[in-house]
Structures are given as C-alpha cells and as structure tokens.
Amino acid sequence: MRLASPTRIAVATVVDFDDQVAVAAIPQGLAERIDQTLASKNLVPQAVPFVDLAPAFVQTRDTPRRLAKVVAVAGQAPLLLLVETKALFFSQLNGRYKWTVVTRVTVADARDAEHAQQTDFELAAILDFAHEREAEALMAVAPVLADRIGVLLDRFLSGQSGAPPAVVPDDPEKSSDRDSSGLGAIYFVLVDRFANGDPGNDGAVDRADPAAWHGGDLRGVIDHLDSIASLGVRTVWLSPVFASRQGPFFGHGAFHGYWVEDLRRLEPRFGTEAELQELSAELHRRGMKLVLDVVLNHVGYEAPLTREHPDWFHRRGSIKDWNDPEELSQGDVHGLPDLAVENDAVYRYLLESTLLWVERVKPDGLRLDAVKHVPTAFWQRYVGDVRARAGRELALVGEIFEGAAWRLAAEQRAGGFGAVFDFPLHYALKDVFCADAPPGRIAAVLAADREYDDPSALVTFLDNHDLPRILSACHDDPRRVLGAMTMMLSLRGVPAISYGTEVGLAGAAEPANRADMRFDAAAPQPLATRIRTLLAARQAHRVLARGATRVLALGDRTLSLARTFGKDVVLVLANRDLRSRVLTPIPTGGRFTAVDLVRGGELRGEQLTLEAGEVTVLLLSPDGAAARSVAAWVADYGRPRRVRFTVFGRPAADAQIFVVGLGRELGNWEPSHGVGPLAPEAEHLTGEVELPVGGVFEYKLVAKESDRIRWEGGENRYLFVGPGAGRLDVELTFDAAHGRPS
C-alpha cells in the first residue's frame, strides 16, 4: 500500500541480548532495508538516534515504556515505528549454524500511542561460520523482517489487500475510529464454535450434531487473534464463558453459554482463568479491547441454584403474553428459571460475580444480556454500582431487543447503559438489502437519531447468534450482503461483526446460524476485504464514526447521504434498483472531486453511475467547492418547516383521516397521536404539521370509523423534508381498495 502524500514516521530500533543487561543498534544494512520498505509506502523515515534511546532501553524491556520514550524524543513525526529484535543461537547441524531472530514490531499514531498495533514473530537464520554472530543473523533475515514490518504498516494505515490508499490525517480529531463507547469496531466470537485450541478440555463433543458441543475454547481464540485483528476490529466480544449446563436439554446443548449455572466459575470446556487472563493481556498488547458477556436474568435449565436457593426465583412459568411488562420481567424466557433480581441476596450474587471477573480479567466492557426481561430499577442500581466499584471506565452495552427507536432510546436512558444494540437499523438494513424494501426505510431510521443522547454509541450489526445469518436472510446472495455491509460500515455507531460473516457462514435458524467458523485463507473473501477497507477508512477518517448524518436525496430505489464532521464530508450513495442509475452526488449540482473509499482512486465529475445494487462511499476534498456546497445545503437541517397534507378519497363518508408514522410529530405509529383528523376542504381533506428540515418520515394514512381503525394498504409512504423557504405540499390518495383493519 502507498500513501497518497508523503508522511513522516519516527523510527526507533534496538537489538536486545539474552543477558538482559545490554542493548545495541541494529546493523546498518537492516536499517536500510527497513527504510526501503517505508519509502515504498510513501513514508519518510526519521531515525531516532540510538544514543538518545540506549540509556532508557537498557533499564526496561517493557514495550509501552520504551514507546513512551520514543514519543518523548521523536519530534513532530505523526507516526512511530519501534522495532525490538533479538538473535539467539539455536543449534549446529551439518556444519551450519542456526539462529532464531525474535522480533516485536510496534506502530502507533504519535498522538495516541496507547492504542498502538503490534506483531511478534520468529525467523530462522542459517549461518555458515562459527564466528558469525547476532549482526550476521539479523542481516540474514533482513528482507523477510522488513516485509513483516510492511504487513503491519499496511494493516495499521489502510487495511490489508484490496484497501484503497489511505491518508494519515494531520488533525487529531480525525485520527481515531473510537466512538463514545471507547470500543471501536467489535468482533463477536461464539467461543464453542470458533476454534479448538486445546482438545484436552473438550469433554463430550459431537461436531456432526449442530446442537451439541463442538470443542471451541479460549486457546483457539488466542491462536487466531492476529487474523481477527487483521480485519481492523478493535474489540473482541466473547459469548458467555461461565460454567454452563453440561448435558443436552430436549436435544439442545448449552454450547452457546447462555444457560449459565454459576457466574463465579469458568466453563472448563473453554479453558482456565489463566487463559482468559492471557486472552485479555494479548488483546491489550495489540491495542485491542475485551468485552465479556454477562447473563443476569436467568440460569440454565435445572441449574443447581434452583435447588440450593429456591427463594431466588420467581417460579411463574414461561412467558405467554410478551406484551405484559410484569410477565416480561418475572416470567421464564423460554422456560429458563427467572432470577428474582429484586431479592437482595440475588442482587449481591450477581453484582459480586460481575466484579470478580472485572477485577481478575480486566475486561474493557460488559455486554448485558436480555435487558427487557429485567426491571429497570435493577439496571439503574447495577450499572451504578459496577461503574462505582470497577475503579475504571467500563463500556456497558445493553441488549435491548427493540425495533422502535423512541422506545430503545428511552430504555437506554432509563437503564443508564453507555451503548445499546441498534435493532431498528438492523431491521431496516435487512428489509432494504434482503427484502427489497424502499431505501427510505433506512433514511427514516437514521432520521430518528434525534431520539438518542448519542447515536454514535449505538452498536450496529447485520446478524448475531439470535438471528438469521445475513447471508441466509439475503437469499444466499453475497452481492446483497456486500451492499448491506458497505452501508452499515459507512454509518454512525459502533460496527459489530459476527464471527464467520466475513467468510460467508449461513444459517436461517438456531442452531444452523451458530455454525463452526471457517478459516478459508486460500479462498477469495470479498466481504472480508470490504470489511478491512472500510474499517481502515473509519480509523483514518473520524467523520465515518462520529459525523452527523444528513439525507441529501431520496428516490424510490436510491439514497444519498452525507456524513459531516467539521470540514470533512463523506457521501454514501446507494442504488437498490435492478438496473444502473445515474446520481447527482452534490444536491445543488456542480463538479466534485472525491476519493472512492471503497474501490480506491479519485473521481471527478457532476454525476456518478451506480450499478444495480451498488453502494459506494466518497470522501470529498474538505477545502473543495463540493464539500462547501454540501455544508451549505445541510446548514438549516433541523429547522421546522410547515408541511401540508392534502388527501383525496376515504373509505367511508364519515371516516376521519389521520397521517400516522415514524416520528413523534406523526405519532410514532400510534393512530390517536398522528396528524389529524384532517379537515374537509372542497373535494379533499387537509392538515398541517411542522417537521424538521432534513428529516425522512415513514408513514401511512389511517381512517377512523365508528367501529374500527383502517390502515391504508400498499407499501409505507416516505416523505423527505428537503431544504426550502416555503411550505411543503404533499398530495395523497387514500388506498381504500387494499386497506386493512387493526
């Protein structure tokens, strides 16, 4: 990969020795090979004098401390490279001498060295003469060592193969993909289904049975951390790793971890506490983070706690009415024994179990399961206590299975969660890319961002272990999945990738949607390449992670969005038609110059052709006329604009007509709170409402008759309230022929 413009990088190198008391400079020939690798990427090496580093490097072998010293003496270079290497004599064989060169390479943004990326590797050096020592061993592996440095730089700067050339920003406000949750992009691992690193802890497994244990464990996750990191994700979220039911329950195993029997013990099939601590440390060494999944609502079927503490459970039987709030919080979810969390003994058990692992494993966040099935009062108490007693920042991510933005926002706020999963956007993306719904559905969900305190803390996703795999939802069409993934990774929030999505795992229902991970390194992986490309872009351009979202244009099968952050502007353009469409990216017309963040290269012109189903992402020049034009166009977004609805026809002469839809002004789909009843005027009905400029509203007409409410038939309607000084007039005809009662 080659950067678009020359960028300085401070280079610090050191040779350590096995006696732990001496250090040396690397051979000049190796330094030259490293400089050649940097130059090939348009990086300008600025060598940090070894004499300035040697005293500190003799005193410590701790990489973070060494990196801090490099920061202190590196000057103004925006990037840092630290190469620590050591050559060890291994053996003599057939008159030749084998050495092992152990190397750690660290690369970092000088303004955010805490989140450096690292790689460790060993290389074999074969020497011909006994007098040849460390310097000769290092020179023997110099070409390969320099190449390994290049691989890490590619990953740090712009993702792996297929990514477009990136620009390292000079503005620190643009130099991080970290959102307000602090997690960055997330990778979910269902531990039993990922990788079996230690067959010795398997127990009874049956890989031919999709509902049984398959042997995945923590060692398997540790073994594949580099491949996970290569996607560009910043956080690993593990499925629950606590002691679970061992035998099947009506043919189904507890491999997923959500049938917990004891939160104070690890599941031995997954490994040991030492391995979980090692996983946490290895992630932190790579500048990555760990999220543990905590189940607080219930225990597994027939768990010992139900016999040891029968008073800890509600014992009201399975939930039958999922709309009854009391039954929802006290009934058994699918028969799982429901904990009486209002009981002080139960609360202490849940809180102390959580804090035990927070202290021992040092996770960076907790994913809190089944939030809707636990009373809000518990969450307020628990979230406050965990934050107060953890002694450090923890991301608390709530799983609130809710498809309505205003309800999701209210529950997040009431429970005090720092982040929640974005189910409204999940359903919209799946509807549009898999079921061919109009793209206005995505725009309407994004317009509802005003309901949240911070939309950037929403965890966006296409699939998870509870839902159909996105490939199956999209009729096994990888092109649809590619479009959906491109759209998701271009929007606000914290992207979450479920294990195996990147290699095309499928499965419509449980347990098929929880299949074993595939490591198909030799097979083409266009989706993995797209993920790397756009996660690298999110890291380089903060506008993608934190920027405001503005709708520029909405067609029946097309959508144009702008993401804006300061002077930065990114355009997200989607064509959901079966044929190519020509779009005008700048709403006022005029030429644009942009970098294509999906395919690389520069684009110029006034119009852009998108192929059928294509989604693309364009980074406008921040000082160009196009970016200024977009900024001016969206300047008054949010300002109230008067909208007048005129409706022709109604199902009955005495029917009252309402405009009802998504958004508080349209009643959030509650007919009694919609716009209306519309007033008779000549041959039609009229009603007015103020709606925010830039908003997109999904809605229908509703008729209230004496004995029923009738929704008009057909697809939902979509209204884009564009900029303009005057009133916006909307004329409609009630679709009585296909109306349906409710």
Q: Measure the CA dihedral 56/62/65/69, to 10°.
A: 40
Give the pLDDT confidence score for residue 172 in this predicted structure: 34
> CATH homologous superfamily for 640-741?
Immunoglobulins (2.60.40.10)
User: Are the C-beta atoms of residues 270 and 312 closer than 8 Å to each other?
Assistant: no
Give the pLDDT confidence score for residue 164 in this predicted structure: 33
Give the pLDDT confidence score for residue 174 in this predicted structure: 37
Give the pLDDT confidence score for residue 573 in this predicted structure: 97
Give the pLDDT confidence score for residue 686 in this predicted structure: 96
The pairing of beta strand 43-47 with beta strand 7-16: parallel
Per CATH, the number for 186-297+341-546 is: 3.20.20.80
The closest alpha carbon to 242, from 391, 378, 354, 370, belongs to: 354
User: How buried is residue 537: exposed, middle or buried, by Cβ count under 10 Å (0-12/13-18/19+)?
Assistant: buried
Per CATH, the number for 7-158 is: 3.30.160
Query: What distance in Å separates the CA atoms of residue 571 and residue 540, rounded to the nearest whole number?
Result: 16
Give the pLDDT confidence score for residue 398 in this predicted structure: 97
Write down the domain spans for the chain. Answer: 7-158, 186-297+341-546, 548-633, 640-741
The closest alpha carbon to 531, from 604, 462, 472, 429, belongs to: 462
The residue ranges of the chain whose pLDDT is under 70 are: 1, 19-20, 93-95, 158-180, 521-523, 736-742
Per CATH, the number for 548-633 is: 2.60.40.1180
Look up residue 158 and give its amino acid.
S
In this chain, the answer to whether the domains covering 186-297+341-546 and 548-633 adopt an identical fold is: no
First and final C-alpha spacing in the chain: 58
